[in-house]
C-alpha cells in the first residue's frame, strides 16, 4: 500500500487537513507544525497522489494538443513539432501537463466535446488543419478554452494565432529592392494554398508602395515541392527578364536553385533567391539561402501563454494574434551592386 496523507498526519500527530494545508501552503499553519509535517513527509517519503489531488481540486492542469500526426509527419512537418516544443516549454514551466493527441478533422469536435465534459483537460491547442465548422460552433456554444494554430478558413468564433505571412512577403520584396534587384519573380504553391497567397499579397503590396506593378508574367503557381520549383524556375528563365525569385517555401527554393545551377546562372549576381522558413536546408545549400525566418517555436510559446491566460481569466478576449517574421540575410541575395 502506498503512503497516504493519513500516514503523514498520524506520524506528525495532526489531521489530514493540516497536512494538506502545509502542502498547499495556504491558510495559516504555525512554523512548528509545518516543520513537524514536513519532517513526517520526508521520513515516509510521501508523494501525494496526483489523481486524487486533481479530483479533489476539480482542475486538471492539463492541455491537449490536437493535430494530425502520422507516419512521416516528423519529416514532412518539422514546424508542427517546433510548435509543440514551444508549447511544452511554457506549459511545463507553469506546472501544466501536455497531452498530445493525433486526430482527423472529422473527429475533432466529438473528441473535444467528450474531453471537456469528462474533465480530461482545461483547454485545447488545435492545429488549423483539423478544425471543422462543427467545431467552430461547439466551441462557441460551450465556451471551450482553446486556441487554433494557423489561420482557419472559416472562422466565426475560433480564436487563433498565426504568422503574418503578408508581412513576410513584404520583407522579402523590400529586401530584394534594397539589394538592387528590380525584376522580381514569384513561385508559389497551388492557388488554394493560403500561405503562398498571403506571401504573394505582401510582395504585391510593396510594389504598390513603390508605385510599381508586379509583372504577372513573372508569377508561377504549382505545387509546393522541389519538382515544381525546378520546372517553374526553368520556365521563368527561358521566358523572361528577371533578376530575382521569391520562392514560397524551402522546397520550391531548392528546386529553383537546382534549375539555376543547371542553367549556369550565377546566384546571387545574375539572379537573387529568397524564400521563407529557416529549414536546416537553407543553411547548407551553396550559396546559403536568404530567408524570411519565422520563429514557430515562439508561435507555440505564445499559444501556450494565451491558453493559460484564458483558463485563468476566462473573460480574456482575443480573436487573433500574429507573430512577426524576421529577415535572415545570407549569400543568395548578396549581390555586389
Partner DNA sequence: AAAATGTGAGAAAACAGTTACCTAATTTAA
Partner DNA sequence: TTAAATTAGGTAACTGTTTTCTCACATTTT
Interacting residues with DNA (CB under 7 A) = 1-2, 4-6, 13-21, 23-24, 26-30, 32-33, 47-49, 52-53, 55-58
Segment interacting with its own copies (CB under 8 A) among 6-14, 48-56, 143-151, 321-329: 48-56
CA-nearest of 199, 93, 95 to 151 is 199
Which cell is 82 given? 517546433
Nearer to DNA, 13 or 316 (CB): 13
Whose cell is 525546378? That residue is 230
Measured from the CB of residue 30, what is the shortest distance to DNA in angstroms?
4
Chain length of the chain: 337
With CB under 5 to 8 Å by kind, the binding choice for 217 among DNA, its own copies, none is: none
Nearer to DNA, 6 or 141 (CB): 6
Measured from the CB of residue 214, what is the shortest distance to its own copies in angstroms?
29
Under the binding rule (CB under 8 A), the answer on residue 102 touching its own copies is: yes
With CB under 5 to 8 Å by kind, the binding choice for 117 among DNA, its own copies, none is: its own copies
Measured from the CB of residue 231, what is the shortest distance to its own copies in angstroms?
13
CA-nearest of 149, 153, 128 to 297 is 149
Residues 6+ apart with CB under 8 A from 135: 108, 109, 112, 126, 158
Nearer to its own copies, 80 or 172 (CB): 80
Q: How far apart are CA 180 and CA 268, in angstroms?
A: 11
What is the footprint of its own copies within residues 56-95 (CB under 8 A)?
60, 69-76, 78-86, 88-89, 92
Rounded to 10 degrees, the C-alpha dihedral 66/69/75/76 comes to: -80
Under the binding rule (CB under 8 A), the answer on residue 264 touching its own copies is: no
Measured from the CB of residue 297, what is the shortest distance to DNA in angstroms?
33
Please compute, for residue 166, the number of CA atoms within 13 A of its CA located in the half-sphere on the CB side. 7
Contact yes or no for 201/166 (Cβ under 8 A): yes
Backbone φ/ψ region at 7: left (φ over 0), alpha (ψ -120 to 50), beta = alpha
Which residues of the chain form contacts with its own copies (CB under 8 A)?
Answer: 2, 45, 47-52, 54-55, 60, 69-76, 78-86, 88-89, 92, 97-102, 114, 117-120, 226, 251, 254-255, 258, 278-281, 284, 286, 296-297
Amino acid at each position: 500500500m502506498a503512503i497516504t496523507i493519513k500516514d503523514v498526519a498520524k506520524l506528525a500527530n495532526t489531521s489530514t487537513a493540516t497536512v494538506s494545508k502545509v502542502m498547499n501552503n495556504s491558510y495559516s499553519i504555525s512554523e512548528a507544525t509545518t516543520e513537524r509535517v514536513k519532517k513526517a513527509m520526508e521520513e515516509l517519503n510521501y508523494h501525494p497522489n496526483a489523481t486524487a489531488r486533481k479530483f479533489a481540486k476539480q482542475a486538471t492542469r492539463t492541455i491537449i494538443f490536437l493535430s494530425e500526426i502520422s507516419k512521416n509527419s516528423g519529416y514532412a512537418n518539422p514546424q508542427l513539432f517546433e510548435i509543440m516544443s514551444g508549447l511544452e516549454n511554457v506549459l511545463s514551466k507553469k506546472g501544466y501537463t501536455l497531452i498530445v493527441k493525433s486526430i482527423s478533422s472529422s473527429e475533432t469536435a466529438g473528441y473535444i466535446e467528450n474531453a471537456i465534459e469528462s474533465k480530461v483537460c482545461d483547454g485545447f491547442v488545435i492545429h488549423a488543419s483539423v478544425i471543422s465548422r462543427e467545431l467552430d460552433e461547439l466551441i462557441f456554444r460551450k465556451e471551450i478554452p482553446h486556441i487554433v494554430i494557423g489561420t482557419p478558413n472559416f472562422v466565426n468564433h475560433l480564436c487563433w494565432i498565426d504568422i503574418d505571412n503578408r508581412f513576410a512577403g513584404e520583407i522579402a520584396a523590400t529586401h530584394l529592392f534594397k539589394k538592387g534587384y528590380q525584376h522580381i519573380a514569384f513561385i508559389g504553391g497551388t492557388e488554394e494554398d493560403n500561405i503562398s497567397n498571403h506571401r504573394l499579397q505582401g510582395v504585391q503590396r510593396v510594389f504598390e508602395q513603390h508605385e510599381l506593378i508586379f509583372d504577372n508574367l513573372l508569377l508561377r503557381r504549382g505545387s509546393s515541392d522541389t519538382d515544381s520549383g525546378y520546372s517553374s524556375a526553368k520556365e521563368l528563365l527561358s521566358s523572361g527578364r528577371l533578376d530575382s525569385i521569391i520562392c514560397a517555401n524551402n522546397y520550391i527554393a531548392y528546386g529553383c536553385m537546382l534549375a539555376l545551377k543547371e542553367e549556369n546562372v550565377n546566384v546571387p549576381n545574375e539572379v537573387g533567391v529568397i524564400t521563407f522558413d529557416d529549414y536546416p536546408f537553407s543553411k547548407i545549400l551553396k550559396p546559403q539561402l536568404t530567408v524570411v525566418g519565422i520563429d514557430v517555436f515562439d508561435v507555440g510559446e505564445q499559444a501556450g501563454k494565451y491558453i493559460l491566460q484564458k483558463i485563468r481569466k476566462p473573460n480574456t478576449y482575443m480573436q487573433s494574434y500574429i507573430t512577426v517574421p524576421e529577415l535572415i540575410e545570407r549569400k543568395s541575395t548578396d549581390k555586389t551592386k
